[in-house]
Structure 1
């Protein structure tokens, strides 16, 4: 039996089983930072293991407004393939939250219905659920 990473045989010592493969504990590492994943929770993408920190930094969605990572426990919204914290998705004029409300788009800015009446030539009026 050979290690999935280094292809060396197992002699004495521990054998780690993960991803339907066998590994030397020192060979089962995060794809990005190379820290050991033995005895840690990990995430998998395309059969590659990632530690929690690297997963968070590289694969968790980031808010299009504040650029901060959106925690998996947080509720967030998406529009036009961009993620937003609910408190960050706001009217460009009055900064009132647009979460769950009707909004309008003008020049890549989002506006509440009240400001739609003040500005003309809105391209789209949407209701965001």
Structure 2
């Protein structure tokens, strides 16, 4: 819209004389010739333009300035999901396994950069407890479920017990830790008893 005023041009920063045509756009006043695409400098007076962070752009330059979705390769014109130093459409940021949209929810990255919802990630990568046969995953309150490894096997901290007397073993290599014998996980007392033939 043309207006006549005595303000400073939003582009060249020189005064806009009351006698010369001016453009009011983007909460600024411009000389008629100064209101142009900041990328290709095509005049925008009377034409459709796009506001990108307060900078006027013609349609072609605006489209060229858009980020491309890492998943589909198309320009992202609305909400951008940023993850793993990549940009995605909301609808393209999905779990590799179940194909459900992840959106702003927590997710995990696989070995080669694939994206998983947490449930599918745990199903694929979480170790299974050798004692209770359940996956060792973070608890519902968000705290980690402690994974103890012994003899090449994984255990929940609470499942890490002597195979004879069922006392809970310490994951630390101390007096209350595991004393394996013939592939069995034992406390010190049961280990000594079995080794001496008393059990």
TM-score range, shorter chain: 0.7 to 0.9
Distance 2:167 2:118 in 1: 34
Aligned pairs, how many?
121
Q: Secondary structure at the match of 1:109?
A: coil
Q: After superposition, give the CA deviation of every residue in 1:52-84 in whole Å (9 maximum; x if it has no partner).
A: 211222223321211212233233422234321
TM-score scaled by length of structure 2? 0.52
User: Displacement, 1:36?
Assistant: 0.6
Aligned to 2:166: 95
User: Does the CA-based 8 Å contact 1:106-1:121 persist in structure 2?
Assistant: no
TM-score scaled by length of structure 1? 0.75
Aligned to 2:195: 120
User: Displacement, 1:30?
Assistant: 0.8
Partner residue of 1:24 out of 62, 78, 89: 89
The answer to which structure, 1 or 2, has the higher relative contact order (CA under 8 A, 6+ apart) is: 1
User: Displacement, 1:17?
Assistant: 2.6
Structure 1 unaligned blocks of 5 or more: 123-129
User: Does the CA-based 8 Å contact 2:70-2:88 persist in structure 1?
Assistant: yes
Q: 1:87 to 1:14 in 2, by over 3 A?
A: closer
Structure 2 unaligned blocks of 5 or more: 1-66, 139-143
